[in-house]
Amino acid sequence: MMRIRVVLLASICVCATSLGQTTVERSDQPVSLTGILKIARGYGPPGYGEDKKVDIPVSYWALYLPMKITIACPPSDEKFKDIDCGETNRLRLFLPDSPPNGELDTQARKLVGRKVVVTGVLQRRDAMIQMTPIYMNVLKISEAKGTK
């Protein structure tokens, strides 16, 4: 029953556009997305890649999607719309480290490089440390069917 509800919510929330991008309506409801799970590398503070000799190297969980997505977003200023509300095909994944989903990190490590289905709540970046324009607070991760 829960699986039917998640699929139904995902199909209601995802609207395809003619530009090959998908807009996921902003909501606190979980959605399921399929992509390749990887450990991405980037740069953290102080400059988040502006000076790679000074900035701290960081690694983070990422879902690489087959298409770019965006979520509803009011830009802070119309001239910053592309920066504030940009589309992406890479999502930073935040995995909980406490029960009941604390085992997701262990599960994810077994799935690196594989096609997976990740369920969680999408959010728009509000700080550079979140690394990607859109990130997901993960509730569930599993290998996509038919990938073995």
72-110 pLDDT tens trace = 888 778 887 777 788 899 999 999 877 666 789 999 999
In a domain, 111, yes or no: yes
In a domain, 138, yes or no: yes
In a domain, 136, yes or no: yes
In a domain, 50, yes or no: yes
Contact in structure between 144 and 115 (CB atoms under 8 Å):
yes
Residue 8 has pLDDT above 50, yes or no: no
* 3-state secondary structure (DSSP) of residue 16: strand
Q: Residue 71's domain spans which residues?
A: 2-143
Distance between CA atoms of 84 and 144, rounded to whole angstroms?
Answer: 31
Lowest-confidence segment of 3-12, 56-65, 111-120 by average pLDDT? 3-12
In a domain, 148, yes or no: no
Tally of domains within the chain: 1
pTM (predicted TM-score): 0.76
- What are 135's two structure tokens? 């990130």
